[in-house]
Amino acid sequence: MNGAEYIIKALKAQGIDTLFGYPGGCIMPVYDALLGSGINHILCRHEQGAAFAANGYARSTGRVGVCLATSGPGATNLITAIADAQLDSVPLVAITGQVPTGLIGTDAFQELDVLGLSLSITKHSYLVEHIEQLPQIIEQAFQLATEGRPGPVLIDIPKDVQLAQIPESLPEARLDQQIAQTPNQEQISQALTMLRESKQPIIYAGGGITLADAVDEFRALVDTTQIPTVLTLKGLGNLPANHPLNLGMLGMHGSVAANNLVQQCDLLIAIGARFDDRVTGRLAQFAPHAKVIHLDIDPAEIGKLRQPGCALTGEIKTGMAALTIETHIAPWREQCQAEQAVNGYAQTKDPSSASAAEFLSALGELAEKDAIISCDVGQHQMWVAQYYPISHPRRHLSSGGLGAMGFGLPAAIGAQLANPQSQVISISGDGSFMMNVQELATISRYRLPIKMIILDNQALGMVRQQQELCYAKRYSEIDLSDNPAFTAVAEAFDIPAAMLNEDADLNKTLQAFLSIPGPALLHVPISTQENVWPMVKPGDSNEQMITGASA
């Protein structure tokens, strides 16, 4: 067999049954080998869409997502989605074609140094220079993508390597298996002492819990310790939305209760979280009275931004199991629950402009309990985080670290293909939706039953909000009032569509929309002036939260 045929064989050996991609000159041998292979290839309409779809496939399952592209612009179009996977620790393998080895370095047609371009946004990148390297590199790529802290790996394969014959005898693949570190007994003893001495602890839980497949263990930890808990954007769903110890999301658009209580705590137990600036606000003033216990598999995160009093480095299931003890903090727990009852999201939203909150709350009541929500980036992303009841972190797909507009629609494609029996709902703003609108063709072609919602305020809402609050209402290039008729756009792709009118019955409209058997789009106009509350201005302390009333 040739190299391209071997690639397909190796992907099947890795359990890959679905690929996302777009063909072109230097990846054509692989596409030729795909014919009759039994692998389901999804033709997206832009390479970024393909990589985001692979990203959504991986986020919703924990399995490796795989995308294909040709050299030059095909490869560069993958870059944003690869960067998203790197910042959110998503297992992804991107395979790109490259010009023949004899042309590398000659500025050949569609030649770019993809290896160099990708080094800072991948766990590792490979350029396959000889056919004999191919088997080893593919094995290593999948191992690296999944072991330890997951992430993206890129394999750049010249066209002549794809066409070269695989030698009859190949050196045996040598894989250095990474053994997960576990916290030592001294660290555990120190953490237990800190926990027992604490009177006002808070658990700060992030996306690393999902990556460790440790949601059940985390819930057992919270239920046993009875410690009030705050969640990051990627940590939403670690606890059910209605859990009595779930104080909600913290940070820039976290609840007043969550941010206030973190500022008061005497012990912060950070699990699979990285003290991101959107969480901490002004770092020097974040949880100023708290000692820190930090559980994380990645040693690079320990002490990177906040020096912990105790680090439990390694596989976090072990660390959580060690901390799963009874505590005696009833007064603090009652204080937290009382604060949440007064200053949770439902109490701090702006009553004069609650349409987005009301819509998403109603959607949460009517959608299937385990529906997968794929969210774009902007105001609507924060409203989803605040008001939609996320049941599990893998049911909430959102571009966290990169904040990439255009993520939601193609990520929903990947999630739907990976979870064909699940209800998948894509929620976009009008700005984000237009960034990968071409993927409506993919949804239509494969008749994917994705329910698409556009919250349309005819503006780049999050930018407009910051210009209102931080730039003296000097609005610059945020007007999207010339949006197309989104229902007509959807219908052009043979997708049923409707607009939510002001006088329509919200529940009946949503029930009818969600019951459509195939894909469907709902256009939801909202006020341009509607803001996300609460908010911490960039550079401010979380204590300086503003609400609609105080803006």
Residues 155 and 208 grouped into a single domain: no
* Residue 221 covered by a domain: yes
Give the pLDDT confidence score for residue 183 in this predicted structure.
86
Query: Residue 342: which domain range?
Result: 185-346
Question: Do 375 and 487 share a domain, yes or no?
Answer: yes
The answer on 370 and 323 residing in a single domain is no
pLDDT reported for residue 351: 45
pLDDT of residue 173: 65
CATH number of the domain where residue 340 is located: 3.40.50.1220
54 Cβ contact list (under 8 Å, min separation 6): 19, 20, 65, 66, 67, 81, 92, 94, 414
**pLDDT the model gives residue 170:** 72
For 322, the 3-state DSSP assignment is helix
Whether residue 407 sits in one domain with residue 461: yes
Please spell the DSSP secondary structure of 461-486, one letter per residue: HHHHHHHHHHSTT---S-B-TT---H
pLDDT tens sequence across 511-536: 999 999 999 999 999 999 999 999 99
Tell me if 551 is assigned to some domain. no
Does 72 share its domain with 128?
A: yes
Selected catalytic residue, list 5, 14, 20, 47 = 47
- Give the burial class of 102: count Cβ atoms within 10 A of its Cβ; 0-12 exposed, 13-18 middle, 19 or more buried: exposed
| Domain end position, chosen among 163, 193, 216 | 163
* Residue 176 included in any domain: no
Which of 252, 320, 452, 462 is flagged as catalytic?
462
Q: Does one domain contain both 29 and 138? A: yes
Model confidence, pTM: 0.95
- Whether residues 21 and 136 share a domain: the answer is yes
Active-site choice (123, 159, 349, 451): 159
47 counts as catalytic: yes
pLDDT in tens, 414-428: 999 999 999 999 999
Based on the residue annotation, tell me whether 165 is a catalytic residue of this protein.
no
Q: Give the residue ranges of the chain where pLDDT is below 70.
A: 171-175, 177-180, 346-354, 549-551
Assess whether 314 and 213 both reside in one domain. yes
For residue 179, is it within any domain? no
Establish if 37 belongs to a structural domain: yes
Out of 110, 347, 529, 544, the active site residue is 110
At residue 352, the pLDDT reads 43
Per residue in 342-356, pLDDT tens?
Answer: 988 765 554 444 489
Which CATH number goes with the domain that contains 440?
3.40.50.970
Same domain, 356 and 241: no
159 is a catalytic site residue = yes
Q: Are residues 226 and 254 in the same domain?
A: yes
Let me know if residue 135 belongs to a domain: yes
- Whether residues 103 and 129 fall in one domain: yes
Q: Is 473 one of the annotated active-site residues of the chain?
A: no
For residues 72, 74, 75, 80, the Cα torsion angle rounded to the nearest 10 degrees is 130
* Domain contains 544: no
Number of Cβ atoms within 10 Å of the Cβ of 289: 11
The residue among 314, 346, 378 that closes a domain is: 346
Q: Is 177 among the domain residues?
A: no
pLDDT one-digit tens code per residue, 121-177: 999 999 999 999 999 999 999 999 999 999 999 999 999 999 999 998 776 666 676
Domain final position from 129, 163, 197: 163
Domain count, the chain: 3
Query: CB 508: neighbour CB atoms within 10 A?
Result: 10
pLDDT at 184: 86
Q: What is the pLDDT of residues 455-488, one digit of tens each?
A: 999 999 999 999 999 999 999 999 999 999 999 9
Please indicate, yes or no, whether residues 36 and 141 belong to a single structural domain of this protein. yes
Q: In the prediction, which pLDDT does 547 show? A: 85
